[in-house]
């Protein structure tokens, strides 16, 4: 019973710290924006011109 409680507490602690890490890391947010931009371009949601324009803005 005690082991199950330890596992559950560890799970929630890891989840909590991982969520906060992403929020407080501004460089990771930038990577996420580029990843989203790449996905939108790959799906055809934006054209090459718009892709390149937004990519330049994100890299600056």
Model confidence over 4-37: pLDDT tens digits? 888 888 888 888 777 655 555 555 555 688 999 9
Looking at residue 28, what is its pLDDT? 57
pLDDT, position 16: 79
**Alpha helices, H only, the chain:** 2-24, 26-43, 48-59
- Domains contained in the chain, number: 1
What residues make up the domain containing 11? 2-59
Length of the chain (residues): 60
Q: What is the pTM of this model?
A: 0.50
């Amino acid at each position: 019973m005690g082991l199950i409680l330890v596992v559950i507490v560890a799970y929630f602690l890891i989840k909590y710290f991982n969520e906060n890490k992403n929020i407080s890391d501004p460089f990771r947010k930038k990577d996420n924006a580029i990843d989203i931009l790449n996905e939108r371009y790959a799906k055809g949601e934006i054209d090459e011109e718009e892709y390149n324009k937004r990519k330049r803005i994100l890299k600056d």
